[in-house]
Structures are given as C-alpha cells and as structure tokens.
Amino acid sequence: MTSTFVAMTYNLWSEFYLDERRAALESLFTIRPPDLLAVQELRPVTRDLLDEVLPEHDRIDGEAGWATQSNLWWRRDLFTKLDHGAEDVGILSPDARLFWVRLRTPDGSELLFSTAHLTWPGHADERADHVNRRIAQARAIGATLERLAGDGACLFTVDINDIGPPQWELGNAGFLDSFTALGRHSPVTHPVVPTVATGPIGTRLSPLASPPKAIDWIFARGPLAARTSEVVDFFHDGRAPSDHYPVVATYSFTRHHP
C-alpha cells in the first residue's frame, strides 16, 4: 500500500497584527489541516494557537528556536516520531536552525521532515558587505540533510528569502521543489494582497514595495513522488492569515523500509 500525505509550509508573520488575523489563522487550519506542517516566524502565542486548532497533531516540545523560530507538526495517526534535532547552518537570526524530525508511517516508511528560514537580505551584516548569506546556508542545509537522510525520503520546507542562487544550490544537492516536479512554475507566495497591515507599502529600508515573488517552498529528495502542489489563496472575513501564502503539496512514498 502506498502512503500518501499532505504537507504544508507557512510563514506565520510573527505576532504582527495578530489580533486582526487570529480568526483567519484558526479558520485556515480548521478547514485545511495538513498531515505535516512546518512553520517559520513562530512565537509561543501562535504555537499555542496551532496546538488548539490541530488537536490530532503532535509537534516537537522544545525550547529556544522550537518556540520562537520554527516547529514541525504531524498527524499522530499517520506518523510516529523517531528522533529530532536542530542544526546550525549559519542562519543569522537568534536560535535559527535547520529544524528536523524523523518520522515513521504505520507501514514502515521513514521520512526526514525539516524546515528553515534563511537570512533576510536586509540583515545588517549583509547590507554592510553585500555578500549573499543564503547561498552558503543552502549549501550547508544540503550537506546536513545528506548526512541525516542519505538516500531516504526527505522533505525540506523553507522561507528562502531569495529568488535564485540558494534554490540552485538545493537543486544541485538533489532536491526538487513540488512545482518543478509537476512541470510547473510556482505562483507568488509573498506578499499577500490585500493585507491587514496599515501604513505605506514600502519597508523601513526603502520606500519601494516588496515585489511579488515565490520564496516559500517544499523541496523533496529520495523515494517521494509529488502528486499535487498549490499556493493557497485563503481569506476569512476578508482577512488573510499572514503576509505569506501557505504552500501545500501532496506526496506519495514510492518505496518503504519495513
């Protein structure tokens, strides 16, 4: 029997405008709960919100970055946790890591499920020397996942904060994103329009608006076949849950290891 599951990656936008979008977050995960969920820009308040709205899921119960950067949820009837970890791959934000969990399905298939949030191009260090930090971070992630997963099934989800070089590093490490795997280009994943944010559309670094771009990805390697891939356009009472769109993909294992 082939095991098939739905994975989602989502940047939760920290606590910005959370009161205005809390109901939209709750509605999204009530209507479309994934089997696997990876998040970025997590905070304790949004971690607790997700725990409440995903009662059939487990997650890593960890401190530091597991509470303030990223975490991973899985449906407990579909997956059992074997082990987990957080690897330093050079991401500059405090407690930012490559977060991962090793899971097993009831039929014996194993999956290394992971996430990261690569350094924002506006970080002070990068603005000072104009060196792209995400290339080295993506290279380190590829090497780390090779060590952790080998040729086994591996999903890497990411807010990559870039539109070229780090994706190429992952592609050359054997990963394929869920859209390319299906012969497609990814739609825009950031920014969401309309937004609940008030004020000008520029950033504190420039009056220019953030250009529409695809920076949220699900990458796979090993015995996994992509079946569907979608950037989810979701609003509740006219409000978006985040300034990023969720990315959702369906995968099937193509072999298992009893």
| Euclidean distance between CA atoms 208 and 229, whole angstroms | 31
Q: State the CATH class of domain 4-253.
A: alpha beta
Contact by Cβ (8 Å): 85, 102 = no
Q: What is the DSSP letter of 176?
A: E
- DSSP per position, 34-59: -SEEEEES--HHHHHHHHHH-TTEEE
**Looking at the chain, how many residues does it have?**
258
Name the average pLDDT for the chain: 96
pLDDT of residue 57: 98
Rounded mean pLDDT of 135-153?
98
pLDDT of residue 255: 78
Instruction: Check whether 166 has a pLDDT greater than 50.
Output: yes
The residue to which tokens 């487990």 are assigned: 58
Contact by Cβ (8 Å): 226, 220 = yes
Rounded mean pLDDT of 41-46?
98
Residue ranges of alpha helices (H) inside the chain are: 18-31, 44-53, 65-68, 124-129, 133-149, 165-172
Instruction: Check whether 2 has a pLDDT greater than 80.
Output: no
Instruction: Check whether 4 has a pLDDT greater than 70.
Output: yes
Instruction: Check whether 256 has a pLDDT greater than 90.
Output: no
Tokens of 52: 């409440």
Tokens of 186: 């990814």
Instruction: Check whether 1 has a pLDDT greater than 90.
Output: no
Instruction: State percent of the chain over pLDDT 70.
Output: 98
Rounded mean pLDDT of 208-223?
97
| Euclidean distance between CA atoms 120 and 158, whole angstroms | 12
Q: What's the gap between Cα 253 and its chain centre?
A: 20
